[in-house]
Amino acid sequence: MSGRTADASRSITDQVTEVSLRRVGLYAVLVGLLAFYLSPIEAGLVTSLKTTAAFNETAPYVPPGLDGLTLAKWAEAFSLLQAGLVNSLILTIPATILSATLGSLAAYGLTKVDWKGQVGVYVLFIAGIFIPYQAVLVPLSEFWGQMFPLYEIGAPVWAAVPFLQEYHGHLLALIVTHTAYGVPICTLLFRSYYKDISDEIVEAARLDGASVASIYRKVILPLSVPMFAVTLIYQFTQVWNDLLFALIIIPSGSGSAAPVTLALVQLGSGVVTDFTIKMAGALVTALPTIIVYVLFGEQFAEGVAA
């Protein structure tokens, strides 16, 4: 901000001291806030690296000394969560791609096409973002449990295809569910982007005789690449981080289908809570989203801001 310019009546040195004092104060506050935002993660990280002895002896935020340092908790957490990590990947990747694709298609059909009713349909899409999922849970479990039990219906498929097990039916149900509830936000993200694409390009293509479908393929889709990045990143973290749908759709007996979030809830909780293993597990679970966030922070912020 350029508010620091000129107040000619005062001497230059006065101004410089005042400005630099303010700057020092500003940075002190910013760094103090950093401490607030990083401390839970820092405490988790140092704790996950401690041996049980070091855990008992040191303060929660102090890193372990060389003799108290161990990767054993990470290894243990990883091996306990391994199956969950695989399940999470199996369900997150297709659900992310499907909802982003459907969102792009829907947004195009409701933006660049000249049809008056589109805003009304769009409102119905958007309202879907804001519903509390509690309002659909009982029907969801009825649908996937009683009416359309994919794990049973798909039995011949699970038997015939190598690597597929019955519990993959639960994962498939989760993929469909996440896709359906991801469509509204993806549509919103793409539509706000498509609205800014110039109408003239589309109109020109139309006068050249291009059909609605070929305008999408040849004009809109190539322009959508940056938005696909934003949507895929946002949706990946959403689906990866979910607990509620997994809890409701996967029957409590079927632990083999549990995604990593569901497995993490119980990790390290016994008669005495083992925080070293809990923290290691939390970081293992968070690692994919943290990596995505660090690599694509800008896109994530953009997705969030929309």
Binding to another protein (CB under 8 A): which residues in 121-150? 121-143, 146
53, 69, 72, 243: residue in contact with another protein (rule CB under 8 A): 243
Interacting residues with another protein between 246 and 265 (CB under 8 A): 247-248, 261, 264-265
Can you tell me which residue has the tokens 């794990």? 151
Residue 205 CB-density burial (10 A; 0-12 exposed, 13-18 middle, 19+ buried)? middle
**By CB under 8 A, is residue 194 in contact with another protein?**
no
Contacts (Cβ under 8 Å, ≥6 apart) of 23: none
51, 52, 118, 256: residue in contact with another protein (rule CB under 8 A): 118
Coil vs helix vs strand at 251: coil
114, 196, 200, 208: residue in contact with another protein (rule CB under 8 A): 114
Taking the C-alpha atoms of residue 238 and residue 41, their distance in angstroms, rounded to an integer, is 20
Site string for another protein, 157-186 (x = CB under 8 A): --------------------x-xxx-xx--
Coil vs helix vs strand at 69: strand
Structure tokens at 225: 């690449």
For CA atoms 181, 241, 176, 102, the dihedral sign is: positive
Decide if 182 contacts 238 (C-beta within 8 A): yes
Contacts (Cβ under 8 Å, ≥6 apart) of 299: 226, 229, 230, 233, 234
Taking the C-alpha atoms of residue 52 and residue 56, their distance in angstroms, rounded to an integer, is 6
User: Which DSSP state fits 63?
Assistant: P
175, 232, 258, 279: residue in contact with another protein (rule CB under 8 A): 279
Which CB, 128 or 164, lies closer to another protein?
128
Type of residue at 220: I
Chain-centroid distance of CA 109 in Å reads: 26
Shortest distance in whole angstroms from residue 263 CB to another protein: 10
Interacting residues with another protein between 35 and 54 (CB under 8 A): 36-41, 43-44, 47
Shortest distance in whole angstroms from residue 304 CB to another protein: 6
70, 87, 187, 231: residue in contact with another protein (rule CB under 8 A): 187
Decide if 49 contacts 59 (C-beta within 8 A): no
Shortest distance in whole angstroms from residue 114 CB to another protein: 5
Site string for another protein, 75-94 (x = CB under 8 A): --------------------
- Cβ neighbours around 228 below 10 Å, total: 20
Shortest distance in whole angstroms from residue 61 CB to another protein: 5
Which CB, 78 or 143, lies closer to another protein?
143
15, 90, 109, 164: residue in contact with another protein (rule CB under 8 A): 109
Which CB, 21 or 34, lies closer to another protein?
34
